[in-house]
Copies of this chain bind each other. A is one copy, B any other.
């Protein structure tokens, strides 16, 4: 067992032909090179017989193409990102691409290093939910003609393809819904960031309030992997703001934590406080009462992202206009935001 791995030369030698010929045949250029059908057949047969597989490293070194996509998400263990990752992975593999992935944890420095690693490994394209402060690195990537597709958020000063949702309207719409149900003291609890998606959510929320002459109240949380770190700030916030009658959560992470706090404080939903959150999840459907959520079109997001990237990867002509795709969310109204008044 474990015989030395065969190389293209071995194949060529066994058939007493040159490795060039084998290479042409294996790369589907037999026609073009007018290699006899008979020879093609023999080569293919032997290849199958001995289970020869070209060494992809050598191939990559030579061609400069690695058939690898670098996928950088905020956190692979977040349900939103892992769902997207799974769908992207599927399509990528089906198209002959492998995925190298990593989580950025919104850490700029870490992301810079990761980009370097990816670059170093000659990934053919990048998919990322970028943290702030890496505009330069991305620009440098683009200058090297690397395709980069962003999702969930984008960098306003960098011209790339991206796929996002209509964050501002989604937040606006959700807030209007709460207002329509008679709530007047609506807080927004969200992790703090200048990233576009967050900025837009805050904007939409404030706009709805303004239109109704209500006062915004935003509680910004730090970005943290550990929900435990959020318990304390959320608890003290809820304890100090007794007049809040509704909350909009900016992400599922924030909401899950917020719900736990409300549970432990004995706050009744929606009687004491109504709840709406970004991102849907089984947990919200199972919750009593069920939680109203702003559901992102996960499949559509993943689909658009990978389609755009595969397209760019296909064409030599990479001088197409970049695409900015904005998808729509669905406000799923459930018990947590029904008026109790």
Residues of A within 8 A of B (CB): 1-2, 53-58, 60-61, 66, 68, 75-77, 79, 82-83, 85-86, 89-90, 93, 98-103, 114, 116-117, 119-122, 140, 143-145, 227, 256, 259-260, 263, 281-283, 285-288
Which residues of chain B are near A263, meaning CB under 8 Å? 286
A1: nearest chain-B partner, CB-CB? B143
Query: Which residues of B sit under 8 angstroms from A103, Cβ to Cβ?
Result: 86, 89-90
Q: How far is the CA of A55 from the CA of B60 in the complex (A)?
A: 11
One of B76, B98, B121 near A86 (C-beta < 8 A): B76
**A52 CB, min distance to chain B CBs, angstroms:** 11
Q: With A57-B61, A144-B2 given, is the CB distance from A76 to B79 under 8 Å?
A: no
Do A260 and B283 touch across chains, with their CB atoms under 8 A apart? no
The interface residues of chain B lying within 8 Å CB-to-CB of A86 are 75-77, 103
Q: List 10 A-B contacts (CB under 8 A).
A: A53-B116, A56-B122, A68-B100, A77-B79, A77-B86, A79-B79, A90-B103, A99-B100, A227-B282, A281-B283
Q: Within the complex, which residue of B55, B61, B77, B143 is in contact with A85, where a contact is CB–CB below 8 Å? A: B77
Chain B's nearest CB lies how many Å from the CB of A247? 15
Measured CB to CB, the nearest residue on chain B to A252 is B282
Which of B76, B281, B287 touches A76 (beta carbons < 8 Å)?
Answer: B76
Q: Please indicate the chain B residues that have their CB under 8 angstroms from the CB of A100 in the complex.
A: 68, 98-100
CB pair A76 B82 closer than 8 Å:
yes
Instruction: Name the B residues within 8 Å of A75 (CB-CB).
Output: 86
User: Is there contact, CB below 8 Å, between A89 and B76?
Assistant: yes
Taken together as a complex, chains A and B put the C-alpha atoms of A312 and B119 apart, in Å, by: 27
Question: Could you say which of B61, B119, B283 contacts A286, with CB atoms under 8 Å apart?
Answer: B283
Q: Which residues of B contact A282 (CB under 8 A)?
A: 227, 256, 260, 283
Residues of B within 8 A of A144 (CB): 1-2
What is the distance, in angstroms, from A33's C-beta to the closest C-beta of chain B?
25
- Going nearest first, the 9 A-B pairs with the smallest beta carbon separation are A283-B283, A77-B86, A288-B288, A82-B82, A1-B143, A77-B82, A2-B143, A57-B61, A2-B144
- B102 touching A121 by the CB < 8 A rule? no
- Point out the residues of chain B lying under 8 angstroms from A283, CB to CB: 281-283, 286
Q: How far is the CA of A75 from the CA of B85 in the complex (A)?
A: 10
The answer to whether A99 and B98 have CB atoms under 8 Å apart is no
In the assembled complex, which residues on chain B have CB atoms less than 8 Å from the CB atom of A66? 57
CB distance from A155 to the nearest CB of B (A): 18
- Given A2-B145, A143-B1, A260-B282, does the pair A122, B85 have CB atoms closer than 8 Å? no
Chain B positions within 8 Å of A85 at CB level:
76-77
Pairwise interchain contact B288-A287, C-beta atoms closer than 8 A: yes
Q: How far is the CA of A58 from the CA of B82 in the complex (A)?
A: 32
Complex alpha-carbon distance, A260 and B283, angstroms: 10
